[in-house]
Amino acid sequence: MSGNTITRAQLSEAVYEEVGLSRNESANLVEAVLDEMAKSLIDGETVKISSFGSFAIRHKSQRMGRNPKTGEEVPILPRRVIIFKPSHVLKNRVNLKGDS
């Protein structure tokens, strides 16, 4: 793992270079896409991006956990978590890159 992280600014720059929109338009486009994805997830919808993967919400029930320092049992409250399932296309691309 290289530890590199891609930022919104880098995504906007990639859109600017690839599509040819202005930098402001590219940044607005990236923000609009991310906002729409977030709204859909908040509403409990699955977000599927062809050849990339799916984002979905999973409901986790309350359960008992353990404080690792003290060993004391503590309840972990129910919550919603985001899961990502990569597509086979993405998995194949990642594995081909790793073999190079």
Is the predicted pLDDT of residue 65 greater than 80, yes or no? yes
* Alpha carbon distance 34, 50 (integer Å): 16
Residue 47, amino acid: V
The three-point CA angle 38-40-11 to 5° equals: 40
35-53: average pLDDT = 96
pTM to 2 decimals? 0.77
pLDDT surpassing 60 at residue 1: no
> Is the per-residue pLDDT at 74 higher than 80?
yes
Residue 57, beta-bridge partner list: 82
Question: Residues 36, 40, 41, 46: what is their CA dihedral angle, to the nearest 10 degrees?
Answer: -120
CA distance linking residue 90 with residue 49, whole number of Å: 11
